[in-house]
Amino acid sequence: MRADETPDSKLKRNFVVAIDGPAGAGKSTIARHLARHFGLLNLETGAMYRAFALKALRLDVPLDDPGALERVAAETEIKLEPGEDENRVLLDGEDVTGQIRNQTVTDAASRVSVFPPIRAAMVKRQQEMGAQGGVVMEGRDIGTVVFPNAEVKIFLDAAPEVRGMRRYDQIGQSGHPSAKPVPPPEEVIRDLRARDERDRNRADSPLRPAPDAFLLDSTNLSLEEAVQAAEDTVEAWLAKQGHTASDR
Ligand code: DC
């Protein structure tokens, strides 16, 4: 602890916010906002599974071969560098931030993430990154496995149709490569349901709320309202510790 620091201010700076939920629930927007608002680092763990999937695809490793994937994982270094808007993702030192959001990598990430050795390697790195606290970490298993003692846990959800339409709008806005037309909404919703199914039903660390998570269903909320509800949850925790927003 620094000389000018009280146990209170240390706690205020070092807490962990775990945000879990399915694709398209608004995790990234909310995590980004909370990180800015409360002065925390924002770490998107999905980007790590995506970077690993990109490597497996590049090496042509079968995505259903846990042994081969584990060997690749043992020789892979993935780093997340928190940035203003999104994390910079380094795969063996190469910046792959712009290459991990397409549908092929998205699907592969969900496939490789079912295997326990892959998860164990990722979880270990995530725990190291968050060991000092002061982070908002988003993913699928943060409140249940990575940081089961996180001070604030939020589980975000929304109806699949709503999440699918949000994802569809995002794809349109982010300028889908012109060679590939934007897929119709039904296809986006179908892909999202398939991924949900895999993420929720895998044997190791399935997507589910921690028993002590605050459940935030944004089906009938605007993204702004969902962001506000998440902010209020963190504020409520801080207030319980004796802090108010004006202390920040
Ligand atoms: O959050 P995302 O869409 O970038 O995640 C991509 C995939 O990675 C997702 O389908 C499941 C997996 N994932 C995971 O298993 N555990 C996490 N903590 C984060 C992501």
Q: Ligand 1 centre and the CA of 157: distance in Å?
A: 14
- Asked if residue 157 has its Cβ within 6 Å of ligand 1, the reply is no
Q: pTM of the entire structure? A: 0.91
152-157 and 16-20: which strand pairing? parallel
**Which helix (H) or strand (E) is 79 found in, with range?**
strand 78-81
> What is the rounded distance in angstroms from the CA atom of residue 38 to the CA atom of residue 231?
9
- Asked if residue 138 has its Cβ within 6 Å of ligand 1, the reply is no
Which ranges of 17-115 does DSSP label H, i.e. alpha helix? 27-38, 46-58, 66-74, 103-112
**Which helix (H) or strand (E) is 44 found in, with range?**
strand 41-44
- Asked if residue 141 has its Cβ within 6 Å of ligand 1, the reply is yes
Q: Ligand 1 centre and the CA of 106: distance in Å?
A: 9
Q: Ligand 1: which of 57, 63, 99, 140 to mutate, most ligand atoms within 8 Å of CB?
A: 140
Q: Which domains are present in the chain?
A: 15-238 (3.40.50.300)
Per residue in 162-212, pLDDT (tens digit) is: 999 988 887 777 655 555 678 888 998 999 999 999 999 999 999 999 999
Q: What is the pLDDT of residue 174?
A: 65
41-44 and 135-139: which strand pairing? parallel
- Asked if residue 129 has its Cβ within 6 Å of ligand 1, the reply is no
Q: Which of 203, 200, 111, 109 is nearest to 157 (CA)?
A: 200
Q: What is the pLDDT of residue 167?
A: 84
Q: Ligand 1 centre and the CA of 70: distance in Å?
A: 17
**What residue ranges of the chain have pLDDT lower than 70?**
1-12, 174-180, 243-248
Q: What is the pLDDT of residue 180?
A: 67
Q: What is the pLDDT of residue 176?
A: 53
Q: What is the pLDDT of residue 154?
A: 98
DSSP state of 245: G
- Asked if residue 42 has its Cβ within 6 Å of ligand 1, the reply is no
Pair of tokens at residue 139? 């993913």
Q: Ligand 1 centre and the CA of 50: distance in Å?
A: 7
